[in-house]
Structure formats: C-alpha cells, structure tokens
Structure 1
Amino acid sequence: MHTPDIGSFIKDLRENAKISLRQLAEQAGVSNAYISQIERGLRKPSAEVLASIAGALRVSTPAMYLRAGLLGKDDTHGVVAAISADPELTLAQKQSLTQIYETFRRENARDTDRDDAGTAESAVEEDHQ
C-alpha cells in the first residue's frame, strides 16, 4: 500500500496559502526547523502536531490524518478525503466545501438526535396509557 507523503502535502498547502514556513510554525505552535523536517520527509509528525498544522492551514484534521496514513478510508468521511485530494480545487475552495459538508452533517446529527428523543418520549407515553 502506498504511504501518503504528508510532508509534500503540507508544503503544497502552505505554499497555496501563501504563508512562509516561519508563519506556519508560529501559527501551529511548533518550531520552523521541525516543520521544515516534516516537509522534507525527515520527520514523521505526531497526531497532535498534525492537528495543529491542520488548524493553522485551515484544513480538516481528519483529512490531514487520512493523508498522513493515520486513518483508513473507512475511519473518515470519503467526501472530505475526496475534497482534500482534488487537485482541481484551490485551498480556499477545499476549505469552503469541507466546512459546508461538515455543517450539514452536524445539522443532520442534531435532527436525528431530536427525532430519536421524540420517538423515545412517544414510547414512554404509550407505556403509561
């Protein structure tokens, strides 16, 4: 199985965002030397560092984990992975699409929770009649 090159991915995201290595390091809270080593493939970042870098680059953490090989395709949403992997989309477009998709999923989860709660209340009322 092909191991994703997380360093090149991070470098591409950083360059597309037009931020320097130092700016990314400062925003992610890690040293610029460490970011440089990650981008060159000399160091493998921890999940915590990847989450910090994802936040600084405004990319979803699951997409970053998927690209780093920390998650399998079954562990995350295929839609988010497809968005992040699409070379035709700009970074801003990827961020927007991912945010919209995640917003819809959260709304649907809340609706499902409310529906489940309503069904449970109805069942309790029927039991007491």
Structure 2
Amino acid sequence: MAKLSMHGAVGNLGEYVRTQRQQAQLSLRQLAELADVSNPYLSQIERGLRRPSAEVLQQIAKALRISAESLYVRAGILDSEDLGPRMVEDAIALDPRLTARQKSALVDIYRSFVGMNDASSDELTEKLAHAKEDS
C-alpha cells in the first residue's frame, strides 16, 4: 500500500477525529477536556494543521472510545495492514443501538471467530514501540 503524504495523512486524521467526535455527540470542548488537550490544539488537529504525537492520539482515542491503532493508521504511524480487525471492534463500540454488555459480547464473539490471541496484540505493541522510537 502506498504511504500517504504528510499533509494528506494529517488532514485525513483531522477529518476522521472530527467525524468520530460528532458520532460520539461530543463538542470540541468536551473532547478536549476528556482527552486532556487544549481546545485550540484539538481544533488544529481536526483542521489538519497539527500532527499530534502517538501519546496525544492515544488520549484522543481513549476519550472517543475507539482504538488508538485506527488513529495511528490515519496519522501514518502504522500501516493499514497492521490494523487488522480493530476496525470491526471500533464499529461495534460506536454503534449507539447496542448496550455496553452487548458490545462486549459481540467483541468476544468476533475475536473467537477470527482467532485473535494475545500474541497478535504483543506484535502490535512492539510495532507501536518501534514507531514511537522512530518519531
């Protein structure tokens, strides 16, 4: 897969963060507070003017209740092949029609079907550590 240009990756990331924020029905101010970043900084991320660190992306992902890996791919830190089935889990987590218990059950069932194990999580953690060292 071809790598995105720096500007394209940052802009794409900002659009994605804004979309996820709107789907979570959070204002910019609310997300900034939950992610422990300043309002102007988050606004700059959403407008594609800033490229946040992996740590800030992780804080934003946690606040949005999505996988940090999906943001890492959008930011160009990880390749999309590294993301794997996390997108399915994000879709489950973002579905407002499901209760927390239903979401948990669906993720467990999905993981059992695709055969996810701790080894794949360890591999992803290792790749993220290398990406952080390179940046």
Smaller-chain TM-score bracket: 0.5 to 0.7
The 1-side partners of 2:18 and 2:43 are apart by 9
The partner residue of 2:25 within 4, 18, 27 is 18
The CA deviation at 1:92 is 2.3
SS in 1 for 2:50: coil
- Give the equivalent residue in structure 1 for 2:72: 65
One-letter amino acid matched to 1:66: V
Question: Shift of the alpha carbon at 1:90?
Answer: 8.7
**Is residue 92 of structure 1 aligned with residue 98 of structure 2?**
no
Larger radius of gyration: 1
Conservation of the 8 A alpha-carbon contact between 2:70 and 2:87: yes
Cα distance, 1:64 vs. partner? 1.5
The answer to whether the aligner puts 1:54 opposite 2:57 as a matched pair is no
Q: Distance in 2 between matches of 1:11 and 1:51?
A: 15
Partner amino acid, structure 1, of 2:95: A
1:32 maps to 2:39: yes
Whole-Å separation in 2 of the counterparts to 1:101 and 1:68: 28
Q: CA deviation at 1:104?
A: 2.7
What displacement does 1:73 show?
2.4
- Name the CA distance, whole Å, in 1 between partners of 2:55 and 2:70: 14
Could you tell me which runs of 5 or more consecutive residues in structure 2 were left unpaired when the two chains were aligned. Answer: 119-135
TM-score (norm 2): 0.62
Per the TM alignment, residue 81 of structure 1 is displaced from its structure 2 partner at its CA by: 3.6
For residues 116 and 57 of structure 2, what CA distance do their matches in structure 1 show?
Answer: 28
Count of equivalent residues: 104
- Point out where structure 1 has 5 or more consecutive residues left out of the alignment: 111-129
SS in 1 for 2:31: helix
Q: Give the root-mean-square deviation of aligned CA atoms.
A: 3.3
TM-score norm. by structure 1 comes to: 0.65
> Structure 1 pair 90/48, CA: closer, same or farther in 2 (3 Å)?
closer
Question: Structure 2: how far apart are the matches of 1:102 and 1:13?
Answer: 24
Pairwise CA distance, 1:6: 0.3
Question: CA deviation digits over 1:57-93, x for unaligned, max 9?
Answer: 000111121122110123232x224665x7xx89326
1:29, distance to aligned residue in structure 2 (A):
0.5
